[in-house]
Amino acid sequence: MAEQKCPACGAPLRFDPASGKLVCDYCGTTTEVKPEGQKPMKKPGAASGKPGAGPAQGGQAAGQSDTGAGAPQGSQSSPGQGQSAGNTDNNIDSSTDSIEGFDFANITDSVTVPDAGNLPVYNCVSCGAEVIAPAEQVALTCPYCGNNIVLTDKVSGKLRPDGVIPFRIQAKDLPDAVNHFYKDKKLLPRRFFSESTMGRVTGVYVPFWVFNGRVSGTFEFDAQTTSSARRGDYIITKTDYYHLVREAAMDFENLPVDASTRIEDRLMDSLEPFDSRETKPFDMRYLAGFTADRFDQKKEDISARAKHRMQTSTVSAVTAQAGAGYGSVTPAGSSLHAQLDAKYILFPVYMFDISHAGKNYHFAVNGQTGKVVGDLPTDSGVSFLYFFKRFALVSGGLLAYSVGKYLLGM
């Protein structure tokens, strides 16, 4: 267990998103946080002399042709192994800048899936109170003395993250961000603004697997072109059919997949993008004052989600490019191969509920960019009026168009 103490008065320190420093709320002492240098993570295939990943966040076509895959070169900074878990100096140590991808292949079920029926108990170093922590939780605040605690046994060894994206958005700015999110939502209940209540905000470092990868393979399509020509009193339509075969590759960098079963995947997917350029080598000081979880999903489940997203994007991109010059193109099969490397990164997320009319609606905010996502209620009466007006507008336009054509034809 590690604590972040003020060097002046001994009170708990917290990481302040606005200043990027460790702050003592009791005496006002601030301490600089100095991130380490970073080195790029090895790309899939790079060690064997195969093409590396292209410089795109999310995905970028590496090449497409009838005969083979292209091979652009690129590099991307990535977070990695930092200091030892027992480091208690208030300045983040920069004794090493070696950053490697997480040892994804050696994760075992014993460290991936927590035993929910055997919650560990920790003793707060400051007040001696017993604190029960869920198996997935990495950082917490002592409910008795308010001390910020990092459970070092859960972020060391095989469980140590490669990096962390620190919070930039402050909790006090969330009401304005949520109001801006409401602004263009026309179907909300009329009194939602005045009658809704924002619940307790929790700043959480959510565990993510961040993937670099390459998807390559052979793609087959059925395509056709159609042309028409008038011959006398007849219009002759000609349709030509083609079978297309394409070989292509697509590179992906920094594709995030959340690794916690306690948080809804759809909310986390909607919070993207995160700016990976702000990833820092992992240090426990960034967790001070926030809650943090560790991953609790098996690597097979996580890698399957990543591969699915990459393969879907690749097929869509190749289909769009293969369709150039043809009237229609239909996928007719593909043979794909994916190479993946993973990094274990903690992402900043604020989570809270908003209560309205007896129901709770879950919200999440990207702690780096301020993007808000969440569930919203709809007013059935407002919805009916909104769609009725749009229907009337479209119907009126069609009627005017029809009348105009009729009058012009007279």
Distances (CA, A) of 11 to 76, 124, 226: 39, 14, 76
Which of 14-18, 152-156, 191-195 has the largest mean confidence?
Answer: 14-18
Quote the mean pLDDT of the chain. 73
Q: Which two tokens stand for residue 324?
A: 């150039």
| Phi, psi (deg, nearest 5) at residue 366 | -65, 115
Give pLDDT, residue 103: 59
Given a cut of 90, whether residue 91 has pLDDT beyond it is no
Give pLDDT, residue 107: 56
Give pLDDT, residue 202: 87
30, containing H or E segment: strand 30-31
Alpha carbon dihedral 367, 7, 128, 113, in 10-degree steps, equals 40
| Phi, psi (deg, nearest 5) at residue 373 | -135, 150
Pick the more confident residue, 242 or 106. Answer: 242
Alpha carbon dihedral 51, 55, 58, 63, in 10-degree steps, equals -50
Number of Cβ within 10 Å of residue 270's Cβ equals: 14
Peptide bond into 17 cis (omega under 30): no
Given a cut of 50, whether residue 263 has pLDDT beyond it is yes
Given a cut of 90, whether residue 367 has pLDDT beyond it is yes
Pick the more confident residue, 182 or 332. Answer: 332
Given a cut of 70, whether residue 261 has pLDDT beyond it is yes
Report yes or no: 277 and 78 within 8 Å, Cβ to Cβ. no
Q: Which residues make Cβ contacts (< 8 Å) with residue 272, sequence separation at least 6?
A: 256
Pick the more confident residue, 383 or 153. Answer: 153
Partners of 281 in beta bridges: 163
What is the mean pLDDT of the segment spanning 364-376? 90
- At 340, the amino acid letter reads L
Give pLDDT, residue 44: 55
What is the mean pLDDT of the segment spanning 117-123? 62
Given a cut of 80, whether residue 239 has pLDDT beyond it is yes
Q: Which two tokens stand for residue 214?
A: 């390459």
DSSP strand E in 178-323: where?
197-198, 202-231, 234-258, 280-281, 291-293
130, containing H or E segment: strand 130-132
- For residue 33, which of 90, 76, 104, 108 has the smallest C-alpha distance? 90
Give pLDDT, residue 409: 52
- At 237, the amino acid letter reads T
Give pLDDT, residue 294: 82
